[in-house]
A and B are shown apart, each in its own frame.
Chain A
Amino acid sequence: MNEAAFYFIAAGVCVFAVMAVTGRDIFHCALWLAMTLLSVAGIYFYLDAPFLGVIQILVYVGGIITLFVFAIKLTANIGYKSIRQTSKQWALALFITALLLCVLSRVFAAHPWAQTVLNVPAASIAQIGRSLMMNYAVPFEFMSVILLAAMVGAIVIGKDKR
């Protein structure tokens, strides 16, 4: 893939992320978040990680965005459009985050990164699955316990007490 594709996708990520954070209508913000996550999946495809890109689209755009839309629709009778969505101290927050971005980019620009790309072949799905089930089997199992706990917790908390 050529370099123009990266700049295109990266610009998409930046614009969509800003829209998702500054929009007034929270439902539109969820859709902008979906666009951001799709662009990040594009970055993964660009970085030779197609498995991760597909997982990103399946889990994030397919699952989490649907949950967001459900949560917004289940709670959305406050008249979102007319109400101010940002707190009064947004200027201070903008200053602090701009400062943070300056520091981070100075550090990244100053660090001597390895200029040569190692010629490692892209990991195949079989390779990822093998190391997931062999070298990283314990964290993998812990992950399933965490997901089970989240599922049970969601059911218990979400149940109507009355």
Chain B
Amino acid sequence: MIPLEYFTLLSAFLFCVGIYGALTRRNVIGILISIELILNAANINLVAFNKYLGTKDALGQIFSLFVIAIAAAASVVGLVLIIAIYRNAKTLFTDGLTLMKD
């Protein structure tokens, strides 16, 4: 049987990869992809704890269902915002989007 630490380590690795991507990407769509990775890392933890520590009525699975739904809503709004930004600014690179600064 795989120990619980391995799942938390896998999730920590996925989380850190997502953080790295969100920090370094110049492309806004790339940042959104990294955020999806971070949310999945949280989900792996929830499901693993649910399996190993045995919550009542599968609370971990239900919680990750909510996380998946929130992630879907977030990426829908995010991608529409990206399309709106592209329509106005004609770029998707973060160093070109300085509308709030100028």
Residue numbers of A with Cβ under 8 A of B are 3, 6, 10, 13-14, 17-18, 20-22, 26, 29-30, 33, 36-37, 40, 43-44, 47-49, 51-52, 55-56, 59-60, 63-64, 67-68, 70-72, 74-75, 78, 80, 83-87, 89-90, 93-94, 96-98, 100-101, 104-105, 108-109, 113-115, 117-118, 120, 122-123, 127-128, 130-132, 135-136, 139, 143, 146-147, 149-151, 153-154, 157-158, 160
Contacts and interface: CB of A to CB of B under 8 A. Distances in A.
A98 B18 CA distance: 12
B62 A71 contact: no
Interface in B11-67: 12-21, 23-27, 29-30, 32-34, 36-37, 40, 43-44, 47-48, 50-54, 57-59, 61-62, 64-66
B25 A87 contact: yes
Contacts of B20: 21, 93-94, 97
B90 to A, nearest CB: 9
A146 to B, nearest CB: 5
B94 A20 contact: no
B1 interface: yes
Where chain B touches its partner, the secondary structure class is: helix
Given A100-B19, A101-B16, A86 B26 contact: yes
- Classify chain B's interface size: 35 or more
Nearest to B64: A52
A47 B5 contact: no
Contacts of B12: 101, 104-105, 108
A33 B37 contact: yes
Contact of B23 (A18, A93, A108, A147): A93
A132 B63 CA distance: 10
B40 A36 contact: yes
A67 B50 contact: no
B48 to A, nearest CB: 6
A105 B14 CA distance: 12
B17 to A, nearest CB: 5
